[in-house]
Structure 1
Amino acid sequence: MSSPRLILVHEPEKACLERLLADGHAPERAAEIASYLAQSTDLAHEFGALASAFGRRGLGFAAVELDDAADMLAKADLAATLVWTLTDGIAYFRGGAAPALARLNGLKTIGADDSLFALCQDKFRSGAVLGALGLPVPQAGLARNGQWLVEPPVSAAGWFVKPNRLGAKIGIWPDSRCGDLGHALELSRRVFAAYRDDVVVQPYVAGRNARASLLGLRPDTGVEALGVAFVESGGDFQTMEDSLALYGETGEAAKAAGKYAEPLLLPVAESQPVADAKVRAIAERLMSGLGLRDVFSIDLRVEPDDTVHLIEFEVCPGLPCFDFRAYCRSQWGLGLADAMAETAANRITARTVAS
C-alpha cells in the first residue's frame, strides 16, 4: 500500500471562464459566473502550506484540477486515498462530478455524497426536499424568462428573486426584493438574458443574515461544534457586486485599493441563545435526515423574536473565505491548513483502526 494522502479536487476560474465563453456567454457575464469559483483561486496560494500541514501528520497532499481528476482518481490507491471536493456544481460549474468519480472508483471522501452535490445547486428542488423534512424554508415559485413554471405563494411583505442554479442566496441586483409579481417576472427575464437561468421567487423574510459552519475535525463531531454567527455586511442581502468584492482577483484588487471590508461576524448565542439552539436543531436534522456530514455551511435569516428561516445549505462552503477561517480559529484553534489536515488525518486514522 502506498502512503496515505488526500486529493483535493478543484475547478479553476480560468477553466470555467474559457468554457463559458466557448458556449457563447457574454464576457462580462461569464466572468461573473466564474467568480463563484474564486475559492479555488484563493486557496491555490496556500497549496504549499497545505502540503506542509499534511506532511507534519505523515500524509501526502495533492491538489488536482477537475479536468485532470478522472485520470488521477482512476489510478489512486483505494486503501490510502481520501478525496475532498472543493467546488460543487451541476450547471455552470462541474465540481459535482468529483465525488461521483470518487464513488465510481471506490474511493472514500470527505463531505456529503454526490447526490447532495446535485441537490444543493438546484434551489427549487432542494427547497422542496427541505420542506418535506419539516425544516423552516420559505416556499417558492419558479419562473423562466417571464413565465411562471410554479406560481409563488401570496406574500404581504413582497418577494425575493434569485437565480435557481447560479450561486446561492444572492439577488444579483439591488431590486431583487420586489413588491409585485410583475417585477419578479421582469427580473426573471433579466436573469435569463444574462445567465440563462430560472429564478426562484420566495416570500421575503425579515431578519438578520446568519451563517452556520461545521468542520468535523473528528469523525464523531456533531452540532456541538457548529459555529453560528450573524454576518453583518451593512446591507439586507448580498448582490453580485457585493460578492465580487470579497473573493478572488476582484477581492485582491479591492484589498490593494484599500476598499476591502469583511462583514462583521457576531456569535448568535451571545444575543439570541434561543435562535442559536434552533439553528443547531436544524443542522442536526440536516445531518440525520439529509445526510450532510464532515464539512458544510447553512445560510439563514434570524428575526428578533427568534424565528429562524433556513435559506440554503452548501456542501462546499468557501473554505478560504473570512467566515470559515474565523470558524476554524474560534472552534478548533487552528488555521485553515492545519484544520483541513487534521480532519483528513483523523479520518485516515479511524479507517486504519476500523480495518
Structure 2
Amino acid sequence: MAVALPELVLIHEPEEACRTRLAAMGFEPDRATEISSYLAQSTDLALEFEDLAGACARRGIAFSPVELDHAAAVLAEPHADRRRLVWTLTDGIAYFRGGAGPVLARLQGLPTIGSDDTLFALCQDKFRSGAVLKALGLPVPAAGLARDGTWIVPPPEAAQGYFVKPNRLGAKIGIWEDSQARSKARALDLSRRVFSAYRDDVVVQPYVTGRNVRASFLAVRPDAGPEALGVYFVDSGGDFQTMADSMALYGGTGAVAKADGLYVEPQLVPVADLQPAADQAIRGIAARLMAGLGLRDVFSIDFRVEADDTVHLIEFEVCPGLPCFDFRAYCRREWGMSLPEAMAATAAARLTA
C-alpha cells in the first residue's frame, strides 16, 4: 500500500469570488473591482501552481491549492495517513475572508505556516493594530479614527498635515493622490468619500516624511530570524503608492496595464547600502514584533525612513503579496530561489523534519 505524501494545502480567496459577493452586498461594479484587487495574488500565483507543485514534488511533498469556499470541507477530510500543513495565502476579516483559513486549520488540529489567527484579525484593523503596536513601545504614528465625516477619535495636532487611509482595506485601496490632507477638516472630507465608496472608517495619522521601506520575511529555514529580513527602499516615483499604482501592478488589472505598456515596476534599493543605522533599527523592530507580537514564518512590515535614520513603523501584513515584485526579489536575493522554490522549501522543512 502506497504511503501518502506529506501535503501542503494552500488556501486562497479568488478575486472573482470576492467580486460576486460584493455585488450581492450592493457594491457598485467599479468599487467591487477595486476592493477585490486586494486578492490579486490569488490571480497571479495561480499561474504558477504547476511550478509550485513541481517544486514540492522534488522535495517529496504534495501540493493542493484550495479555494477558500471549499476549505472547510477539504480540511475536514480524514488525514490520519499523512501530514498536512496549511498555508493561507490571502487574509481578511471584513471585505475578504481569508482570516478564516488558519482558524479552520486550528479547528482540525492542523499545523500552519504563518502567524496565528489572532494576528490575521489584528493586522486587518489598522486602528486597533496601531494601538497594540504603540503599547509595545514601537514608533507608530499616533492615529485618529473617523467615520463618514465624524470623529470617533480625533487625531493629534500635526503641523505637516495628515495621511488618510481606509481602516480595513489593503493594497492601497482608497488611497488617492490627495490622501495627504492639510487639515482635520479635509481629513473628514476624505472620510466621507471613503465611506461612500467602501463603507469603511478611515485612520488619520500625522503625515511623516521620508522614503517608503518594505521589510519582507520568509523563514525558509525554520530557525531564521531578523537577519533573514529583506529590507528595501521601494521607490515608485511618488511620495506614496496610490490605489491606481497598486492596480497597475497586480492581478487582472495589472495584466491589462502590462499589456498596454503602463506597468512600471518600482525600484528596490537595500536600506543597508544607504542608511545602515536605519536598517539595523528596522531589524530590531522586527525582532520585537516576532518576540512580543508573535509574527513568524512569513510577513512584511512597512516603514517610512527619514534622512536622519528616524524610522516610523506604518503597518504589518501576515499575508504579504508573495507574487509581488518585491517579495520575488527578496526570495532571489536572500534565499537564491524563485518564489515557487522558496515556498516549497519552506513547507518541506516543516513537513519532512
TM-score of the superposed pair, with normalisation by structure 2: 0.98
- SS, match of residue 312 in structure 2: strand
2:254 to 228, 251, 255: 251
Alignment partner of 1:233 is 2:218:
no
CA contact (8 A) 1:171 1:237 kept: no
2:344 to 341, 345, 349: 341
Which blocks of at least 5 consecutive residues in structure 1 are unaligned?
A: 351-355
Alignment of 1:75-224 (within 5 A): 75-77=77-79, 80-167=83-170, 172-224=175-227
Amino acid of the residue matched to residue 261 of structure 2? G
CA contact (8 A) 2:127 2:145 kept: yes
CA contact (8 A) 1:155 1:204 kept: yes
CA contact (8 A) 1:2 1:77 kept: no
Q: Which residue of 1 aligns with 2:298?
A: 295
CA contact (8 A) 1:123 1:168 kept: no
2:321 to 318, 323, 329: 318
1:14 to 7, 16, 19: 16
Deviation at 1:231, TM superposition (A): 0.1
Q: Which residue of 2 aligns with 1:279?
A: 282
1:232-273 CA-partner distances (Å, limit 9, x unpaired): 000011111111101011111111112211000000000000
CA contact (8 A) 1:171 1:238 kept: no
- SS, match of residue 316 in structure 2: strand
- The Cα RMSD (Å) is 1.0
Aligned-pair identity in percent equals 71
Closer, same or farther in 2 for the Cα pair 1:268/1:25, shift >3 Å? same
Q: Which residue of 2 aligns with 1:353?
A: none
CA contact (8 A) 2:11 2:101 kept: yes
Q: Which residue of 1 aligns with 2:6?
A: 4
Deviation at 1:2, TM superposition (A): 3.1
- SS, match of residue 161 in structure 1: strand
Amino acid of the residue matched to residue 214 of structure 2? R
Q: Which residue of 1 aligns with 2:40?
A: 38
**CA separation in 2, counterparts of 1:76 and 1:167?**
35
Deviation at 1:89, TM superposition (A): 0.1
Deviation at 1:169, TM superposition (A): 5.5
CA contact (8 A) 1:161 1:176 kept: yes
**CA separation in 2, counterparts of 1:282 and 1:209?**
16
Amino acid of the residue matched to residue 277 of structure 1? Q
Which blocks of at least 5 consecutive residues in structure 2 are unaligned?
A: none
1:63 to 35, 52, 65: 65
Alignment partner of 1:51 is 2:53:
yes
Amino acid of the residue matched to residue 71 of structure 1? A
CA contact (8 A) 1:169 1:312 kept: no
- SS, match of residue 235 in structure 1: coil
CA contact (8 A) 1:170 1:238 kept: no
Deviation at 1:228, TM superposition (A): 0.1
**CA separation in 1, counterparts of 2:294 and 2:331?**
22
Q: Which residue of 2 aligns with 1:267?
A: 270
Structure 1 runs of 4+ off > 3 angstroms? 168-171
Deviation at 1:168, TM superposition (A): 5.6
TM-score of the superposed pair, with normalisation by structure 1: 0.97
Deviation at 1:76, TM superposition (A): 4.8
